[in-house]
A = this chain, B = another copy of it.
Amino acid sequence: MTMSTALLTDHYELTMLQAALRSGAAHRRAVFEVFARHLPGGRRYGVVAGTGRVLDELERFRFGPDEIDFLRERRVVDEETLGFLADYRFSGGIHGYREGDLYFPASPIMIVEGTFAEAVLLETLILSILNHDCAIASAASRMVNAAGARPIIEMGSRRTHEQAAVAAARAAYLAGFASTSNLQAGRAYGIPTAGTAAHAFTLLHDSEHQAFEAQIASLGPDTTLLVDTYDVPEAVRTAVELAGEKLGAVRIDSGDLAAAAQEVREQLDALGAFHTRVLVTSDLDEYAIAALAAAPVDGYGVGTSLVTGSGVPTAALVYKLVARETRTGKLEPVAKRSVGKPSRGGLKHAYRLLDEFGHYETELVSTSGLVPAGGVPLLTELVRDGEIVGREPLAEARGRHAEALTRLPQDALHLVRGYAAIPTEFT
């Protein structure tokens, strides 16, 4: 692992750079746009996430001596290109949707302007981050909706790449999860971390009684005890016997969670532990969470389905050249004509139109500079002349997302597959 992010890049970006330096076109002004042709998996909306990480990694996108040496040894590009890379610093501009905001098909969620040479190099890094983080946040948002007021702990680190786990925790928190199991996410992003014990802790001791006793002695009666290692009713009895009414929570990680939660709640109440919470985990996704809405559950832990985007592990975002300078110095829209992969040329503006109740009605994508009446501008400045100007605390993105959900048409929050919640119109 290296601090430089410059080699998190596809080989072809550098060969394109080399050929464009040779032809002279490398120095033409260019506009690249990140957008999704569709929302995969029948999702009704996407969640913008990863913007802050793009800014962090852009700062570390430098070809130092180690990177240059590797490229030279492997003959990836020629000496002229290596010279360009050694001096490389993005000096252009980036606008983007605000993190936590929603997006729809063709929403220009990030626009990169600069010379072709400097902007083309960022394709891989930007897409890697946004495709991952938007996919996770989009799934997380549905889970948060399904959970209503009940908190969700993100606990998927063990099911995804060790660094992706940290980014997934960030995306989940942004979308409304309460906390994460991932300690590095706690350190890097200030996200609350949570967790108490696994089955191994109970199995380690000579009896469940001894394990619970040890946990309570060390972590206090307010801890969460895992009660399904052997027999759930027996474990709950032991738990309350040892911790008393102050027992924080019990966690159920197997079986029919709705039935088990009901039984455990009744047992806890019968034992006088009215304030002890019932937490459930075990392969939960947004549908399983929704199915537990009527069960006496106080919180959820979600792992696998969160970090894999609940069936949609990548967001289908692409990074396309939409305009470039001509030989005569004019900025001109461009678009390929490949079968089945439409893209629209031109530097875009984007606005969201609201109805009289403040609900989102239309996503307006425009190549003219005209601001539509009542349109809320969606693009904000993130990088100006190579300097990062769009940083914000993660909490702001989290608040923005919570607010955005209140403005969606009500039916967009249902879990059924469908079309985008609002139409995208082009002018």
Contacts and interface: CB of A to CB of B under 8 A. Distances in A.
Interface of A: 1-3, 5, 7-16, 18-23, 25, 28, 30, 32, 57, 67, 70-71, 74, 76, 78, 116, 120, 123-125, 127-129, 131-132, 155, 157-167, 181-184, 186-187, 193-206, 210-211, 213-215, 217-219, 228-231, 253-256, 304, 307-308, 313-314, 319-321, 324, 326-327, 334-341
Pairs of residues from A and B, 3 with the lowest C-beta to C-beta distance, nearest first? A12-B195, A23-B214, A11-B195
A112 to B, nearest CB: 11
A178 to B, nearest CB: 13
A165 B16 contact: no
Contact of A334 (B131, B203, B304, B336): B203
A326 B218 CA distance: 21
B163 A161 contact: yes
13 contacts: A1-B3, A12-B195, A15-B197, A16-B197, A18-B218, A22-B214, A71-B183, A74-B186, A116-B204, A132-B160, A159-B314, A161-B164, A203-B336
Contacts of A161: 128-129, 132, 160-161, 163-164, 167
A7 B184 contact: yes
A20 B183 contact: no
Contacts of A194: 11
Given A12-B198, A16-B198, A74-B186, 5 more contacts: A21-B218, A23-B210, A161-B164, A206-B326, A255-B340
Given A16-B197, A196-B15, A204-B321, A182 B10 contact: yes
B74 A193 contact: yes
Contacts of A30: 204
Nearest to A213: B23
A188 B181 CA distance: 29
Contacts of A199: 320-321, 336, 338
Contacts of A183: 7-11, 14, 70-71, 76
Contact of A320 (B11, B200, B205): B200
Contacts of A181: 10-12
B124 A157 contact: yes
B228 A339 contact: yes
B215 A19 contact: yes
A200 B25 contact: no
Contacts of A131: 158-160
A16 B197 CA distance: 5
Given A181-B12, A187-B70, A254 B201 contact: no
A204 B20 contact: yes
A196 B12 CA distance: 4
Contacts of A320: 199-200
Nearest to A162: B128
Given A19-B215, A19-B218, A204-B25, A165 B197 contact: no
A341 B254 contact: yes
B8 A184 contact: yes
B255 A339 contact: yes
A280 to B, nearest CB: 13
Nearest to A183: B7
B229 A337 contact: yes
Given A161-B167, A204-B321, A218-B22, A231 B8 contact: no
A172 to B, nearest CB: 14
A324 B203 contact: yes
Contacts of A127: 158-159
A168 to B, nearest CB: 8
A200 B164 CA distance: 28
